[in-house]
A = this chain, B = another copy of it.
Amino acid sequence: MAGRLSVYQVAKIVRLNVLPGSSTQKGKKATSFFKNQKAATVSIPWPSSVIYGLHQAYSTVAEKPKLMENVTSACLHNSGKTCFVVWKDGFHTEFHSVWLRQNCHCEMCRHENGQRVLNPANIPTSSLMQNLFLEGTKLKVTWSGAYGNHEGYIPLSFLREHNYSQESILARRKAVKCEKTCSKIPTITFEEIKQSKDGLLKWLYQINEEGLSIVNGVPTEESMVQEVAELIGPVEVTIYGNTFDVLVTPDPINVAYSSVGLDLHMDLAYYESPPGLQLLHCLKFDACVEGGESTFLDAFALVDQFRINYPDLFKSLTEIPATFQKVHYKRDNPVHIVNQKPHIRLNHLGEVVAVYWATPFEGPLSVDENEVMRYYLAYEMFAKMIRDSPNLLQHRLQPGELVVFNNQRMLHGRQGFQINGGSRHLKGCYINIDIFKSKTQVYNNLFGDGRRAKRVGNQCWF
């Protein structure tokens, strides 16, 4: 695919990695900037466009094209333990010797396919920079240390993209937060997603940014849900098989296969990594069937509100783990999965990166007896917020409609229904979260504006 890029597409990829807005222009205060400067300072204007391999091309949205290679100067600092790099647009930041050494791009350190050959675990932290200078689009560095001397380089675009000043990290995080809460389910046609890359990209954006999408006009054949899924990636096989039928069955192995209402939940919350996407294709939904509307609620938006309104209760649900389980022996393939995890998971900076909610699959709470009531009080309030949320989306699927939603973000459920002699038949399947994330980012980079895919799973993006 990479080999068939148009000039236009390449151009899109080149203008990446530029931090938007002026507030991110300062990695360091200029006053203390050159204080301990000891070695070479170079000042050169750089060629206006260079592609640094596609395999490194991703970043925040570029508001307007800027040149990452426009570095004014680079200088050693702190006896070679760190260096400063200053860009023409005023942005400046510091890099550690060992960080640079690990990210050396010379042919000894990286295979030309982009994979690192150097084992970073062999680089001693005591490696110091001896010298550095700017050459073309590269920062060339020589190191000394226990591992021996080394000469190598790091592309300036790489430095700009991966710099770790606090402002840059903050900006990158902001870029991946899901901020758009859907008030009406976006739609797209089957023809659009099937026929063109633009259509598929639009669909991926809808799912990634709004959490769900309805595809219209999908032929009502049993095999279609898998065919649609494979436009994104291979179907994830779970304990429910490759695909599954949501249909009233006698002696159902899951209450979903009956006509009772289902409260908002996520599927397979007891998995280490619950499926990322769920697809439900409506094959039959007779007019005589009363009820059965699908419901959706954005858990990420809800938990933000919970955090603001009840910070202590929020904290309890991040600290005290619930038990999620599927223990079921009366089925063809008995299942026994138990995983304990908190309803809300935070990353190292305290940002919410996952919400788990699946009341039918909660096993007995198994935490220190002194934590039991603290858990239940928080749980009760969070449950109330879910129940009372004004942001519930409701939709009665029509035959030929296929709803796809982020199972790790959008809670889903359905109203109970009366068959009345008719029939309601959905066919479903799942797609792994990493496969979806990858596809979205690849398409954003190759055919879109190169923005970072929003955070979707229980890890942070960067």
| A387 touching B121, Cβ below 8 Å | yes
**Smallest Cβ-Cβ distance to A271: which chain B residue:** B434
CB under 8 Å from chain B, chain A span 154-192: 158, 162, 164-166, 169, 172
Give the contacting residue for A55; candidates B123, B125, B329, B445; CB below 8 A.
B329
**Smallest Cβ-Cβ distance to A462: which chain B residue:** B366
**Smallest Cβ-Cβ distance to A357: which chain B residue:** B121
User: Which residues in B have their C-beta under 8 angstroms from that of A359?
Assistant: 116, 119-121
Proximity string of chain A (402-446) to chain B, C-beta cutoff 8 Å, 1 when within and 0 when not: 000000000000000000000000000000111101100110011
The answer to whether the Cβ of A340 comes within 8 Å of any Cβ in the partner chain is yes
Give min CB distance, A164 to chain B, whole Å. Answer: 6
The answer to whether the Cβ of A90 comes within 8 Å of any Cβ in the partner chain is no
Give min CB distance, A350 to chain B, whole Å. Answer: 12
The answer to whether the Cβ of A367 comes within 8 Å of any Cβ in the partner chain is yes
| A114 touching B237, Cβ below 8 Å | no
The answer to whether the Cβ of A376 comes within 8 Å of any Cβ in the partner chain is yes
User: Which residues in B have their C-beta under 8 angstroms from that of A441?
Assistant: 336-337
| A348 touching B332, Cβ below 8 Å | no
| B166 touching A369, Cβ below 8 Å | yes
9-residue interface stretch from A17-25, A38-46, A96-104, A130-138: A96-104
| B434 touching A58, Cβ below 8 Å | no
| A272 touching B115, Cβ below 8 Å | no
Bound: A199/B124 CA distance, A? 47
Bound: A230/B130 CA distance, A? 56
**Smallest Cβ-Cβ distance to A408: which chain B residue:** B272
Proximity string of chain A (303-339) to chain B, C-beta cutoff 8 Å, 1 when within and 0 when not: 0000000000000000111010001111011111111
Copies of this chain per assembly: 2
The answer to whether the Cβ of A149 comes within 8 Å of any Cβ in the partner chain is no
With A1-B329, A125-B376, A263-B121 as contacts: A99 and B321 at CB distance below 8 Å: no
**Smallest Cβ-Cβ distance to A440: which chain B residue:** B336
Give min CB distance, A316 to chain B, whole Å. Answer: 11
| B369 touching A58, Cβ below 8 Å | no
User: Which residues in B have their C-beta under 8 angstroms from that of A373?
Assistant: 96, 98, 125
Give min CB distance, A242 to chain B, whole Å. Answer: 8
User: Which residues in B have their C-beta under 8 angstroms from that of A320?
Assistant: 348
9-residue interface stretch from A278-286, A292-300, A378-386: A378-386
User: Which residues in B have their C-beta under 8 angstroms from that of A248?
Assistant: none
| B328 touching A113, Cβ below 8 Å | yes
Give min CB distance, A61 to chain B, whole Å. Answer: 16
Give min CB distance, A461 to chain B, whole Å. Answer: 6
Q: Which of A103, A122, A459, A460 has the most CB of B within 10 A?
A: A459
The answer to whether the Cβ of A377 comes within 8 Å of any Cβ in the partner chain is yes
The answer to whether the Cβ of A291 comes within 8 Å of any Cβ in the partner chain is no
| B438 touching A364, Cβ below 8 Å | no
User: Which residues in B have their C-beta under 8 angstroms from that of A197?
Assistant: none
The answer to whether the Cβ of A7 comes within 8 Å of any Cβ in the partner chain is no
User: Which residues in B have their C-beta under 8 angstroms from that of A115?
Assistant: 254-255, 328, 360
User: Which residues in B have their C-beta under 8 angstroms from that of A433?
Assistant: 272
**Smallest Cβ-Cβ distance to A5: which chain B residue:** B329
Instruction: List 6 A–B pairs whose Cβ atoms lie within 8 Å, in order of A's numbering.
Output: A55-B327, A98-B376, A117-B260, A123-B380, A271-B434, A336-B437
